[in-house]
Amino acid sequence: MKQQITILLFFLFIVAVYGQKITVIDNETGKPIEAVVVYNNERTKSAVTDIDGVVDITVFTSEEALSFSHVSYSEFSQKKKNIEINDFVVYLSKESEQLDEVVVSVFKKEAKTNRIAEQIAVLNKNQIQKIAPQTSADLLANIPGIKVQKSQFGGGSPVLRGMESNRVLLVVDGVRMNNAIYRKGHLQNSITVSPNLLDKTEVVFGPSSVIYGSDALGGVIHYYTRTPKLSAKKEIKGDFLSRYSTVNNEITNSGSLEFQFPKWSSLTNVSYSDFGDLTMGENRSHGFNDWGKVFYYSENSPNNYVENQTVNSNPNLQKNTGFNQLDILQKFYVPLSKNTDLKLNIQYSTSSNVPRFDRLTETVDDGTLKFAEWYYGPQERLLISPQLDINPKKKWLNKGTFTLAYQNIKESRIQRKFGSLEKSFREENVDVYSFNGDFSVPIAKDRDLGYGFELAYNNVNSNSYGKTLALENGEINGFEDDLDFAVQSRYADGGGSYLSSALYVDYRQDISRNSTLNTGVRFTYTNLQATWVDQTFITLPDSDINLNNKAITATVGYVYKPSKTWQLNTVLSSGFRSPNLDDVGKIREKNGDVTVPNVNLKPEHAHNAEVGVQKYFNNRKFRIGANVYYTLLRNYIYREGFELNGSSTILFDGEEGNIVANVNKGNAYVTGFTASYQGKLHKNWTTSGSITFTKGRTYDTNEAMSSIPPLFGNFNLNYVNNKLEAGANLRFNAHKDISDYNLTEGIDNQNQTPVVNADATEDIDMYYGSPSWMTLGVYGKYKLNKNIALQAQLNNIFDEHYKEFASSISAPGRDFSLGVFVNF
């Protein structure tokens, strides 16, 4: 009997000993994490996870609090006895209540914010759900420091530090979205990634050309879509969102299905949104009674013909703003070995025709509408991208990522004037092939070296043609067979290409416990080719162009933490933007100006200096901070009057227009600041807020720069408990006087601001500028149970009428939305 008891006690001892081993798992992917340091509060005991994420914690007592630390994850702390209750598994995340511990990936490798000198902003999945944006443009408008311009509801052009369109780089899952026809002015492409697909969005402000190359002058917006997760339990999970909004009768439905297995996982998401015409606010605190109202509209469509404009029975309803959009995401995640992971990322986005609201409200001299039809055809984006993550743990390569991608983008512009049956079609098809390699290696303790390459090739096909409507008893009956006509293509009809290749190196070192140095250098080479065949309308000095550009850019950043509650950042950086096909070779008309190619265009360069300060409170769970910057633009690209073949005017689409083109100018500057605060006020209360100021002028001509928004900001207050989440938000925008607009390029759309003197001959005397505005909104989310939650929002409570800076469409009026979230 004594021998049996001894054996039993020995067995229990062995179980207890082996029961002290725990596994540390990545909360996002479900994979084990190697090299996580586990220690107690006194740092007298420690252990490290092995290649399987396993660590023996026998040395620690049950009452001790264990801290888990890894350079790529937020620090996590929990008592040993609670870990035992949770099946001896610990999950590490890249998010943390301690704001300096948040991990971001925007620099192509994970880093905590307390080691990054640049100004950054992050929105995670929960924050995106709380905002409940109808489009990704609406999502970006909620990020501190970003202003979004809209020419129509089916679009949204983000402005970062006074830079817009092709001066801002859009990236999705490590693949650049900017292509050879991203234009100067305003872009709608930010909405082609549905917010319902996103896991998070990260933004870095200022030139970031060392990591990302050309285009990133104002900053980088990086969308990260959802990724499936591995699980030893072989689970199938899903979620569903359904939302309705009153302001434009929005109906959004989004569903996901995720298969989680030990050796592979899959995620499928389908999101569909239908947007009706948008209603503007009726409370006109600015004092301009008719500004923005739509008194007449066109009822014409591809299947409907109406000879004349139609009276709008409700001028506050912005006719011809509705559209619909479908987004599909399919991801596979397959660990090929302990050190190698394969991800396959397939994305597809398409839309209905998208009415171009600003052109459909354009008038001729007698005050009647100019266009019967003006719309974008379906905006299509296809992405197929396999990504290979490797961890060879060699001296020259610790880990790295290869990203191969193919993108196909289709755009089209269709227009027809009142009084004419002639309808013009301009179609663009862009194929983008890219291959990136991003690698890192720790060369010593607290010293990290990164290096990589990027290749991207754009092939552009531009087609145009005209057809004449066939009418039968006042109804459309196709097109007349023998009345086709020639139309000038938007880009080179003989085809165009744009090649970019680059190498970069970056280095990060913790000089001491209180300071971190970030440096980097990048070499980029670009080649642009285009051929014009049909020169019926425009005769160019050279029908073939071949432009080669190269640049070296660099960044130096320094982070200094004099104490646990202070962080000081300084950054010196340079960037450049090589002209793309849209800059060099676009032909289009707007407001009587006809843009023509300029084959002598050169790159523009940016030199940036900024200083940031962060002060932390409440165990680093609350912070206030500010970033101040100055950016010098050299050889900046500017749109102005131009001569072609000795003439300053040209006949285009049957009308005489003034010739303009993109040209290189001298020097200009953009300066400003963003001040913000964020964090926990009390147990269940959090708050955030920001205010952004921007100023930009040219040194050579002493003009205001385009795309410089007025002072703007927002404040938020939130309450959260186990069941209920509620909050309020205040958004505001200061007045921008017409004298602070750029009146030459037309990008600021001064003609979309209130008219103060209709008889004036100069814009500076005719228009008011952008009026100030302020809106208040509230929201609430209630969990009915662990699987179902309801969310309601009431935005623009006082139904204020306003337009975002440089926008043609009026912003939404009072809007009530109701959504339901289901998880299973």
Q: What is the DSSP string of 428-467?
A: EEEEEEEEEEEEEEEEETTEEEEEEEEEEEEEEEEEEEEE
Query: Distance (Å, rounded) from C-alpha 670 to C-alpha 606?
Result: 10
Q: Cα–Cα distance between 225 and 141 in angstroms, integer?
A: 19
Q: What's the gap between Cα 165 and its chain centre?
A: 11
Q: What angle do CA 499, 502, 508 make, to 5 degrees?
A: 155
pLDDT score recorded for residue 18: 47
Number of Cβ atoms within 10 Å of the Cβ of 330? 16
φ/ψ (deg, to 5) at 130 = -65, -40
pLDDT for 208? 66
Neighbour tally for 247: CB within 10 Å: 23
Conformation bin of residue 447: beta by default, left when phi > 0, alpha when psi is -120 to 50: beta
Instruction: Give the three-state DSSP class for 127.
Output: helix
CB count, 10 Å around CB of 758?
6
3-class SS letters over 559-618: EEEEECCEEEEEEEEEEEECCCHHHHHCCEEECCEEECCCCCCCCEEEEEEEEEEEEEEC
Q: How many CB atoms lie within 10 A of CB 643?
A: 11
Angle at 800 between CA 802 and CA 724, to 5 degrees: 115
Contact indicator for 94, 28 with CB cutoff of 8 Å: yes
Task: Measure the CA–CA gap between 780 and 87, rounded to whole angstroms.
Answer: 34
Picking from 653, 658, 288, 306, the residue whose alpha carbon sits closest to that of residue 487 is 653
Between strands 111-112 and 103-104, the pairing is antiparallel
pLDDT at 154: 92
CA proximity to 411, closest of 432, 422, 426: 426
In this prediction, the residues of the chain whose per-residue pLDDT falls under 50 are 7-18
The tens digit of pLDDT for each residue in 348-371 reads 999 999 999 999 999 999 999 999
Could you say which DSSP state residue 182 is in?
P
User: What is the distance between the alpha carbons of residues 682 and 615, in angstroms, rounded to a whole number?
Assistant: 18
142-167 burial, b at 16+ Cβ within 10 Å, e below that, comes to bbbbbbbbbbbbbbbbbbbbbbbbbb
Q: What is the pLDDT of residue 10?
A: 46
Please state, in angstroms and rounded to a whole number, the distance separating the CA atoms of residues 133 and 624: 26
Q: Which two tokens stand for residue 580?
A: 């793309």
What 3 state SS string does 199-257 have? EEEEEEECCCHHHHCCCCCCEEEEEEECCCCCCCCCEEEEEEEEEEECCCCEEEEEEEE
Residues, the chain, total?
Answer: 824
Distance CA 82, CA 189 (A): 47
| Contact between residue 291 and residue 283 where contact means Cβ atoms under 8 Å apart | no
pLDDT at 96: 65
CA-nearest of 174, 171, 123, 120 to 571 is: 120
Q: How far from 494 is each of 489, 497, 533, 535, 541, CA to CA, in Å?
A: 10, 10, 5, 11, 16
pLDDT of residue 212: 81
**What's the CA gap between 119 and 750, in Å, rounded?**
31
Tokens of 184: 């100067």
Tokens encoding 510: 């913790």
Query: In the Cβ-directed half-sphere of 295, how many Cα atoms lie within 13 Å?
Result: 8
Bridging pattern class, strands 219-225 and 168-172? parallel
Alpha-helical (H) ranges within 480-590 are 581-585
- Amino acid 19: pLDDT: 53
DSSP-based three-state secondary structure for 231? coil
Cα radius of gyration (the chain)? 28
Cα–Cα–Cα angle for 54, 57, 61, rounded to 5 degrees: 160
Residue pLDDT, tens place only, 618-631:
888 899 999 999 99
**pLDDT tens readout for residues 275-304:** 999 999 999 999 999 999 999 999 999 999
